[in-house]
Chains A and B, each alone.
Chain A
Amino acid sequence: MSESSSETIGEVRNYVESPIIMATVRIVSPFVFTFGLFIMFHGADSSGGGFQGGVIVATVMLMLGIAFGIDPLREWVGESTLVAILTVGVAAFLAIGVGTVALGGGFLEYHVIETELGVYHATKYGIEAVELFIGVIVASTITGLFFAIDAGKNDGDSE
């Protein structure tokens, strides 16, 4: 593989710079991203939910990585940012669960938010928030796995 020589140019890396793939991904990815969010939020009323929606959102990152190169994408996302997003997702889910306990209810008993803080339809919004944070956890983990597996091909015989 001639990665080390092309690395200095910063354009051609480990991917095929195909205008067809790039144009397709550029058009399709906003719709796929929206569809992922739709699956996440619509899970309350029909099939779907945080896990499925998170995977679909992660697919957008996979598509972008395949079309525009994984290394530039990793730089654009920021390596530590991704880990931070993942941790924030877990922390936020925990915060909702523990928050309802702190308000005097059970774990994830959203009803107390309505009675204690006066938020209308707190159960519905609570479930949507939990679905969103599950989606954040799943999407960032899959993106992380994608980046980590890709980084493996630069190790080994080149170093």
Chain B
Amino acid sequence: MNIELPLLAFVLGAALATAVLRDVLGAIIAFATYSLGIAVVWVVLQAPDVGLTEAAVGAGVTTVLFLLTIAKTVRPSGERVIERLDWPALGVSVLLVGVLLTTLGALPEIGSPDTAVLTSEVTTYYLENAYSEVEVKNAVTAVLAAYRGFDTLGEAVVVYSAGVGLLVVLGKEVFA
């Protein structure tokens, strides 16, 4: 059975719920659901490494951090469940999505054998030489930790900087 269409509807529904729910707690839960859907989308798109990250960070850690953040807020009063729509903002969003949709035609089909990524010389080199040169079977890891290790150091330092930046903003020396 075709899984992509129901999955897309699920992700869109969760995204819509995140945007329009008036209760912040509900919106956070909807956002976690959205992340979970996106994680499955990554797996469908044959990117399990990204899917794993999305599931752990998006659906897991971010949700907990958001829940901590709203601890100081109060629930909105009144019976209304749906937030009143902000028409100018909605117009800008629809326009942005419309612009992005124009690039959709240029994307190759899922799993298509003649995409630029698969026919590229660099990809072929990595797939052929990764095991003999760096002794790991996962070509993604070979690129990440060996061929492009310097970039990965940058990424790790970005994560480190996020922590240090938070401490600088708070004017503290420890996470407390």
Q: Is the beta-carbon distance between A49 and B150 smaller than 8 angstroms?
A: no
| Residues of A with C-beta under 8 A to B45 | none
Q: Is the beta-carbon distance between A59 and B49 smaller than 8 angstroms?
A: no
From B53, B137, B170, contact of A148 by CB (8 A):
B170
Interface of A is mostly: helix
The answer to whether A121 and B141 touch (CB under 8 A), given A47-B48, A148-B166, A153-B71, is no
The yes or no answer to B153 lying at the interface (CB within 8 A) is yes
Specify the chain B residue showing the minimal Cβ separation from A79.
B174
Cα distance A143–B61 in the bound complex, in angstroms: 10
| Residues of B with C-beta under 8 A to A150 | 68
Cα distance A140–B173 in the bound complex, in angstroms: 15
**Distance of A42 from chain B, by nearest CB (Å):** 9
**Distance of B11 from chain A, by nearest CB (Å):** 21
Specify the chain B residue showing the minimal Cβ separation from A147.
B175
Sort chain B's interface into a size bin: 35 or more
Specify the chain A residue showing the minimal Cβ separation from B149.
A108
From A51, A62, A110, A124, contact of B64 by CB (8 A):
A62
Cα distance A131–B137 in the bound complex, in angstroms: 15
Instruction: Tell me the total A-B contact number using a CB cutoff of 8 A.
Output: 150
The yes or no answer to B140 lying at the interface (CB within 8 A) is yes
| Residues of A with C-beta under 8 A to B64 | 62, 66, 146
Q: Is the beta-carbon distance between B156 and A90 smaller than 8 angstroms?
A: yes
Cα distance A109–B41 in the bound complex, in angstroms: 35
* Interface 9-residue window, one of B20-28, B83-91, B111-119, B157-165: B157-165
Cα distance A124–B150 in the bound complex, in angstroms: 17
The answer to whether A46 and B72 touch (CB under 8 A), given A83-B175, A130-B145, A144-B163, is no
B residues apposed to A, CB below 8 Å:
48-49, 51-53, 56-57, 60-61, 64-65, 68-69, 71-72, 133-138, 140-142, 144-146, 149-150, 152-153, 155-157, 159-160, 162-163, 166-167, 170, 172-176
A residues apposed to B, CB below 8 Å:
14, 39, 43-52, 55-56, 58-59, 62, 66, 74, 79-80, 82-83, 86, 89-90, 93-94, 97, 107-108, 110, 121, 123-124, 127, 130-131, 133-134, 137-138, 140-153, 156
> 8 closest A-B pairs (Cβ-Cβ)?
A108-B149, A79-B174, A144-B175, A47-B48, A44-B136, A55-B56, A147-B175, A141-B163
